[in-house]
Structure 1
Amino acid sequence: MIKSIISDMDGVIYRGKQMIPGADTFVQKLLSANVPFLFLTNNASQTPLDLKLKVESLGIHGLTEDNFITSSMATAMFLRSQKEGAKVYVIGGGGLINELYNVGFSMSESNPDYVVVAKSTTFNFEQLKKAVHFIDHGAKFIGTNPDMVDPVEGGYEPAAGTILAAISAATGKKPYIVGKPNALMMMIACRKLGFHPEECLMVGDRMDTDIVGGLEAGMKTALVLSGVTKLDMLNEFPYRPDYVFNDVGEIEFAQL
């Protein structure tokens, strides 16, 4: 029986700076019915406060910072469990750097223990060269998420996966991905809500991250067609979601 909801954001709640129709209705339904929920996003550049302010600017109210978990938060928690006080070289935004600082890591270009990579709007050749050098000399290669593109107004833009691919090509090494589709991030969210995975519904727009990650974590899954995966793409995958909706506004919790 589904008792809580974990939902993606990009392509589900908004696309770039535009709210997806039905998203405000979806959130108000959850709040009115006192359904425990979390927004789980592979976006590593923003903090929970940034996300709260963003959805408020789109007209969605009633959320707190505790309603959000980002891949930056999951990455920081994972790395702290591996090696406390580590040195890291970061390619990514302020949200990722902030979370790594919060768990006691220092940013370093002197023999870092980890090279941590997320989406970056300022990625350049010098950063690529440094990342390759550090990994070739023993630094562990970590990615916050594997998304190749992110949905934005009018189409898509390159995401973390494109940067990871460049570094992988130069080093011959693959990153360990902490965010979706790694079931680790799903488990972190379930624990925060206080429910077992089989009691949680994962809502997302990507078959290759949201749906497969929820499936592998033991959760029920719902695909919305407002983001990356379209209906005619379902047959490309060897697994299927439990539910398919045009957008989150169609989801009625009591009927799941």
Structure 2
Amino acid sequence: MSRRDEIECWLTDMDGVLVHENEPLPGAAELLQQWRDLDAPYLVLTNNSIFTPRDLSARLRASGLIVPEDRIWTSALATADFCASQIPGGSAFVIGEAGITTALHEAGFIMTETSPDYVVVGETRNYSFEAITKAIRLIAAGSRFIVTNPDATGPSADGPLPATGAIAALITKATGKDPYVVGKPNPMMFRSAMNRIGAHSENTAMIGDRMDTDIVAGIEAGLHTILVMTGISDEAEINRYPFRPDEILAGVHELVSDEPIESDL
């Protein structure tokens, strides 16, 4: 188990850690600035596959947080990275938005409805019966079934919305085929993120607000895990699980140093 003073690289969730409903959480801007001052490798992670890193960078900037697009790692990027590692220059039929289609295009994939190597299901607010039917038929015919993230619902002002996991369950029921899920809690998302910034598990920390995704995946990836209480977790939620994070903090403001920042580089 790494001590915090041994941590050199950082992974952090976005919603519930840095922002809540587009409002920055206490200490988020200061922590990001601290990492910049130290030139510390870091990535902001999200299971949401709708948006491209450029989109998310702009949304964070509107919230008062400066995160360059090359410091954002989405489940869409992790999915494209995985698919390209398995079948370089392959093909895919995609249900999703710009986040996943752009990531797959940039990874060298061709989008097609004719015998694709993969059927990839990501987050979207425009699910169509026609597209779901096409996905079911392609998977039944032999295409591999990939899902960007397992979240069954997503938030909205009017209440929960069906999300990627719910649509994947529908397709699984129709085909009898379970998908390979790339995003959290699959630790592969963290490993691909660490590869992106040249980090190693022994000196990398993961900051998250969810025991069932951020913390369990961080533990399985061998990271120093930090749970913040600014998201959905409370003491009762923590006690439901047989594992515990290395640290439990009120929020990321507790990670901001009061000491003058001096880079080793």
Answer yes or no: same fold by TM over 0.5: yes
Q: 2:171 aligned to 167, 173, 179, which one? A: 167
Are 2:80 and 1:71 aligned? no
Taking a change above 3 Å as real, the CA distance of residues 16 and 171 of structure 1, as seen in their structure-2 partners, is farther
Distance 1:91 1:53 in 2: 24
Taking a change above 3 Å as real, the CA distance of residues 159 and 213 of structure 1, as seen in their structure-2 partners, is same
Question: What stretches of structure 1 of length at least 5 have no aligned partner?
Answer: none
SS at match of 2:146: strand
Asked if 1 retains the 8 angstrom alpha-carbon contact of 2:30 and 2:256, the reply is no
Taking a change above 3 Å as real, the CA distance of residues 160 and 18 of structure 1, as seen in their structure-2 partners, is farther
Asked if 2 retains the 8 angstrom alpha-carbon contact of 1:86 and 1:113, the reply is yes
SS at match of 1:85: coil
Taking a change above 3 Å as real, the CA distance of residues 151 and 158 of structure 1, as seen in their structure-2 partners, is same
Asked if 2 retains the 8 angstrom alpha-carbon contact of 1:15 and 1:152, the reply is no
Asked if 2 retains the 8 angstrom alpha-carbon contact of 1:10 and 1:151, the reply is no
Are 2:156 and 1:135 aligned? no
Are 2:56 and 1:51 aligned? yes
Distance 1:190 1:166 in 2: 33
Count of aligned pairs = 254
Q: Which has the larger radius of gyration?
A: 2
Asked if 2 retains the 8 angstrom alpha-carbon contact of 1:44 and 1:95, the reply is yes
Question: What stretches of structure 2 of length at least 5 have no aligned partner?
Answer: 1-5, 260-265
Q: 1:179 aligned to 183, 197, 209, which one? A: 183
Question: Moved runs in structure 1, 4+ residues, more than 4 A?
Answer: 151-156
Tell me what 2:31 maps to: 26
Are 2:209 and 1:205 aligned? yes
Structure 1 length-normalised TM: 0.91
Asked if 1 retains the 8 angstrom alpha-carbon contact of 2:201 and 2:222, the reply is yes
Deviation at 1:134, TM superposition (A): 1.0
Q: 2:85 aligned to 81, 87, 90, which one? A: 81
Are 2:22 and 1:5 aligned? no
Deviation at 1:75, TM superposition (A): 0.9
Letter in 2 for 1:166: L
Structure 2 length-normalised TM: 0.88
Q: State the Cα deviation string for residues 46-73 of structure 1 (Å, max 9, x = none).
A: 1111111111111112x32221111111
SS at match of 1:201: strand
Taking a change above 3 Å as real, the CA distance of residues 89 and 137 of structure 1, as seen in their structure-2 partners, is same
Q: State the Cα deviation string for residues 39-97 of structure 1 (Å, max 9, x = none).
A: 12211111111111111111112x32221111111111111111122221111111110
Cα RMSD between the aligned structures? 2.1
Asked if 2 retains the 8 angstrom alpha-carbon contact of 1:214 and 1:220, the reply is yes
Taking a change above 3 Å as real, the CA distance of residues 67 and 184 of structure 1, as seen in their structure-2 partners, is same
Letter in 2 for 1:240: R
Asked if 1 retains the 8 angstrom alpha-carbon contact of 2:154 and 2:160, the reply is yes
Asked if 2 retains the 8 angstrom alpha-carbon contact of 1:226 and 1:246, the reply is yes
Distance 2:8 2:133 in 1: 47
